[in-house]
Chain A
């Protein structure tokens, strides 16, 4: 007589897995990675490799010697963090700073909370902001992208489009005076403008976003509500005074807007659990980004906006419950 396995229902499991989701994100980032290598060359490859090796090492070491838990570097989450971190850095950042970034992302922002799924803030963004306030000069001297096909000449650094606008408007110039210095929309879409490695090509980022939507890794709620908020608010100000405010398309295509909307704000661990909550979250990120971009001290606000909203997620989760069966729309049943 054979022994049969006994366990509670359900007895079948769908084909989703944490690994599949994480490697799905990695696949979605490939176009962006390729574009950044195309524009920043060997330097980009150097930053990617350093970030990946350092992140995986820290994940492994902390899990083994501090948390003493099962091996977690295979689940793909450290790889996702590493690539996201690299996409948030300028390609000419000194190697040791990249390694410090990896330590902050994995060690401080992720493992100190208990590892995957327990962190409050997006690890890659914590590291980006940490590096930005620690090494402001290195983190804001952006190499000008130069297609790899044009040979390996010395890199010229320059400001980002958002930096040009911030500084120009601060120096009482008007938008029409600044326009010649700014990239065209086509350049923005293809990625031919200054910025961190992942901020350059809007097209590649959108491609990744479509892939993740198709694979159901993300839902549309956060990116759409965030971008819509940005478009509406920047549109209002641009409509009133186009000489002193940049237009909505410019805001969309520049800086970390799409990288943030598609890859950072949508991070499952640090975003709300319900779709209603996600809409609120996206709105908050969009609003804070525009506030910082227009009136803050920094030209770019996406990272700060996402981190601030990360902190609000537990509150959003409490306020936006799913609609319970048998309750009127939008009303949670408490009985």
Chain B
């Protein structure tokens, strides 16, 4: 085997801990009550179009896009609207949610719920983009950027390559891995649909080589075609970052402050490709997704197909319960995930996993003085100097932070992970980004 592709700058290799890699996707029963937050995408929150007491079916539109960068939301369950009220979501804040009391599981008639795989793509590119927009599909890797926006390059820019992200570089998470193994054909069709929408001739599917079974399976599926290529990538975090994956796949660097389309690339997650398949071929909007439930003390690390709006307590119960020694619950992976404050937080479109951490691993080490070892600089995938940026932010020297490209930080946390003095570098970097962002907006 030759030298594996990967990105060039920085990177770390934390323990992979893919405990649930061999657990097949299990479909979870519908919850008794679904809590559907209105803010599930990057951008403006959606606007509800139902009211208390309305009867809804699975897949029925319940909230409309609230702006250009926003999405539709469909009812993930059937039943009666209980109320539209504030409830705690994954951000830790109480935010507007549509709360539905579930009755039965009645699907909208237009949705094809059969198991048959439809491979012929009949729709035109415009129709495809329209369907994806209406189906409320967002980036399912966690960023939740509305998918249809990425499919409409700004004037003067054209896409040359579609890159499908099957990297799953976050430790513990296995939802994309399982999806590739179990829904590989659908993902390939979804990839073709996206290629058609973008009018690109070539797609790459990047998978880290800690998932050889997925690489083999997907390679087998595209054997007779050369317009889709499976790329085996060296395991290195944060390879799932859009810019890092583009560098690894096609060796192009997205300039600072620009989008991937600048270098002719569009990146979509494998989960998104699957959702696109379901929306275009089966007329099924985004009402469910795969969520990994894992952790060192979790009795049954699992991958569940769950409806959006299901409280995470139900997922944890299905994984044989919350361990006694739980200290922290994370929505997402351990590197970029968010700590969750309550077990009633619902699954949203961007939920890729629930990581349950033991008490012993839930606390940070005591911060010591910076010894200028420069390890943060060596591992930064964006070529930044986290020690300098964090100091600038700490001293409120935001001009310096801006000049030193703080806005390029992708918040991957590699710097803080490797810091021998356990300095919370990313805390300071986030603060710096927030302030510099405000200053930049005010300047306009």
For B, the interface residue count at a CB cutoff of 8 angstroms equals 69
Verify A14–B374 contact, CB threshold 8 A: no
Verify B374–A325 contact, CB threshold 8 A: no
Does A17 sit within 8 A of B, measured CB to CB? Answer: yes
Q: A10-B334, A324-B256 are in contact. Are A21 and B383 (CB under 8 A)?
A: no
Verify A323–B383 contact, CB threshold 8 A: yes
Does B416 sit within 8 A of A, measured CB to CB? Answer: yes
A17 CA to B417 CA in the complex, in Å? 11
Taking CB atoms, residues of chain B closer than 8 Å to A2 are: 326
For A, the interface residue count at a CB cutoff of 8 angstroms equals 39
Verify A6–B257 contact, CB threshold 8 A: no
Q: A4-B327, A10-B416, A11-B339 are in contact. Are A17 and B369 (CB under 8 A)?
A: no
The number of residue pairs between A and B whose CB atoms lie closer than 8 Å in the complex comes to 159
Verify B339–A7 contact, CB threshold 8 A: yes
CB distance from A213 to the nearest CB of B (A): 14
A64 CA to B357 CA in the complex, in Å? 37
A30 CA to B388 CA in the complex, in Å? 34
Does A321 sit within 8 A of B, measured CB to CB? Answer: yes
Verify A5–B420 contact, CB threshold 8 A: no
CB distance from B353 to the nearest CB of A (A): 12
Q: A10-B426, A269-B371 are in contact. Are A324 and B418 (CB under 8 A)?
A: no
A324 CA to B388 CA in the complex, in Å? 14
Does B117 sit within 8 A of A, measured CB to CB? Answer: no
From residue 99 to 152 of chain A, which have CB atoms closer than 8 A to chain B?
115-118
CB distance from B126 to the nearest CB of A (A): 32
Taking CB atoms, residues of chain A closer than 8 Å to B326 are: 2, 4
CB distance from B288 to the nearest CB of A (A): 26
Verify A326–B420 contact, CB threshold 8 A: no
Does B50 sit within 8 A of A, measured CB to CB? Answer: no
CB distance from B44 to the nearest CB of A (A): 24
Q: Who on chain A is nearest to B252 by CB?
A: A326
From residue 311 to 328 of chain A, which have CB atoms closer than 8 A to chain B?
321-327
Does B222 sit within 8 A of A, measured CB to CB? Answer: no
Does A42 sit within 8 A of B, measured CB to CB? Answer: no
Does A172 sit within 8 A of B, measured CB to CB? Answer: no
Q: Which of A5, A269, A275 is close to B372, meaning CB atoms less than 8 Å apart?
A: A269
A219 CA to B132 CA in the complex, in Å? 50
Verify B339–A268 contact, CB threshold 8 A: no
| Dominant secondary structure at the A interface | loop
A321 CA to B403 CA in the complex, in Å? 12
Does B48 sit within 8 A of A, measured CB to CB? Answer: no
Q: Who on chain A is nearest to B365 by CB?
A: A13
Verify A324–B408 contact, CB threshold 8 A: yes
Verify B383–A327 contact, CB threshold 8 A: yes
Q: A116-B369, A325-B256, A326-B255 are in contact. Are A18 and B420 (CB under 8 A)?
A: yes
Does A333 sit within 8 A of B, measured CB to CB? Answer: yes
Verify A117–B377 contact, CB threshold 8 A: no
Verify B419–A16 contact, CB threshold 8 A: yes
Taking CB atoms, residues of chain B closer than 8 Å to A12 are: 14-15, 171, 334-335, 361, 417
Ordered by A's residue number, 27 sampled pairs between the chains whose C-beta atoms are within 8 Å are A4-B326, A4-B327, A4-B328, A4-B329, A4-B339, A6-B92, A8-B424, A9-B330, A9-B338, A11-B337, A11-B357, A12-B361, A13-B416, A13-B417, A16-B419, A16-B420, A21-B373, A117-B369, A117-B370, A117-B371, A268-B373, A269-B371, A323-B9, A324-B382, A324-B408, A326-B255, A333-B405
| Apart from A16-B418, A17-B421, A273-B387, 17 more pairs, CB < 8 Å | A5-B327, A10-B334, A10-B413, A11-B330, A11-B335, A11-B337, A12-B335, A13-B364, A14-B418, A16-B419, A17-B420, A116-B369, A117-B421, A118-B369, A322-B383, A327-B256, A327-B383
